[in-house]
Amino acid sequence: MNIIDKLKSTGIIPVIKIKDASMATDVAKALLAGGISSAEITFRTEAAEQAIKNIAKGCPEIFLGAGTVLNTTQARKAVDAGARFIVSPGFNPEVVQYCIDKNIPVIPGVNSPSDIEHAMGFDLKVLKFFPAEISGGLKAIKTLSAVYSNIFFVPTGGINQANVAAYLSHNSVLACGGSWMVKSELIETGSFETITNMANEAVKAALDFKVAHFGINQANDTEAQETAGLLASLFGFQVKAGNSSIFASDSLEIMKSNYLGEKGHIGIGTACIDLAQSVLENRGYSFNKESIKVKDGSLKAIYLKNEIAGFAIHLVQR
């Protein structure tokens, strides 16, 4: 799995400042128990290198990175310790080149067109947008991505439970960095259960599941048109016809054939479909791979393999 796909399925990257390396593995396990499968240990303490070593050995399931990497010495220590990707607050050409030479994914910080074009000169496609909120937030990312459509961002700085879903819903955002679920005081007091609970809440906020629409199976085009027309006439809905279905309002889809689901289907919208698929698979649910719908290289919809109460269930990227 490449770095882009890995970050999509990760969604949230906890940014961890740790003073006691002996607690690092417990923090990683607490995050994993809460549904978060990545971590970034920042080089803002002397314990960073050993903390990375401990997690790499004690919790290898975590997709582990090193953050606040300011020079090649720190980059070397991080890689030797077991970091699988490097993150820096700004664009340091020496750090970038070192990582490229070592074939280690590097995510340097940018917040301007000049920074982005500098990164493009190194053939980088994944960049940290930092500090995100101060630099214009999601509005700035939307503006930049309209110009640099082949660039993906990992916004960090000011990301929290209230705004993470909005960021992740934009197709140029792969994942968000944040520290609200791994605050230093929680680590220092050994509050690992609290970290697990906050990680779980962070994942829920990032996924932001909501019912998108209901699908009603009909035998053919004629029946679908009759049903859609009746609903429209009764309730004043706007009818929109498609190739395989007719929408009678935004939330009622009338299928032109007996599609998936004995009784029909339910579409569940999410801010981050790749993360949603990963989380549900980790919970033991499987997906119908033949139902995958992709647009512009990004996953847009996928059905669960099993029905629920006679309804097929599919995820939809908002």
Based on the fold, state whether residues 156 and 216 are members of the same structural domain. Answer: no
Tokens linked to 217: 């199976």
Based on the fold, state whether residues 262 and 160 are members of the same structural domain. Answer: no
What per-residue confidence (pLDDT) applies to 296? 85
At 174-184, the pLDDT tens digits run: 999 999 999 99
Based on the fold, state whether residues 8 and 46 are members of the same structural domain. Answer: yes
What per-residue confidence (pLDDT) applies to 1? 67
29 annotated active-site: no
pTM of the model: 0.92
Span 2-14, average pLDDT: 94
Which one of 128, 133, 253, 256 is the catalytic residue? Answer: 128
CATH code for the domain of 226: 3.10.180.10
40 annotated active-site: yes
| CA 131 – CA 306 distance, rounded (Å) | 42
Residues 6+ apart with CB under 8 A from 286: 304, 305, 306
At 162-210, the pLDDT tens digits run: 999 999 999 999 999 999 999 999 999 999 999 999 999 999 999 999 9
State the amino acid at position 118 in one-letter form.
Answer: H
Which SS3 state, helix, strand or coil, does residue 232 take?
Answer: helix
Of 183, 207, 231, which marks where a domain is finished? 207
Of 207, 232, 253, which marks where a domain is finished? 207
Number of domains present in the structure of the chain: 2
Across 246-275, b (16+ Cβ under 10 Å) vs e yields bbbbeebbbbbeebbbeebbbbbbbbbbbb
Based on the fold, state whether residues 91 and 149 are members of the same structural domain. Answer: yes
Instruction: Answer for the pair 28, 59: CB distance below 8 angstroms, yes or no.
Output: yes
Based on the fold, state whether residues 13 and 78 are members of the same structural domain. Answer: yes
CATH code for the domain of 154: 3.20.20.70
At 86-126, the pLDDT tens digits run: 999 999 999 999 999 999 999 999 999 999 999 999 999 99
Based on the fold, state whether residues 91 and 175 are members of the same structural domain. Answer: yes
Based on the fold, state whether residues 172 and 44 are members of the same structural domain. Answer: yes
| CA 263 – CA 200 distance, rounded (Å) | 32
Residues 6+ apart with CB under 8 A from 85: 3, 63, 65, 66, 104, 105, 106, 107
DSSP output for 87-128: E-SS--HHHHHHHHHHT--EE-EE-SHHHHHHHHTTT--EEE
Which one of 6, 40, 53, 256 is the catalytic residue? Answer: 40
Instruction: Answer for the pair 265, 315: CB distance below 8 angstroms, yes or no.
Output: no
What per-residue confidence (pLDDT) applies to 297? 85
Based on the fold, state whether residues 203 and 215 are members of the same structural domain. Answer: no
State the amino acid at position 232 in one-letter form.
Answer: A
Based on the fold, state whether residues 194 and 250 are members of the same structural domain. Answer: no
Based on the fold, state whether residues 214 and 199 are members of the same structural domain. Answer: no
| CA 308 – CA 265 distance, rounded (Å) | 9
Domain containing 230: what range? 210-317
Of 147, 177, 207, which marks where a domain is finished? 207
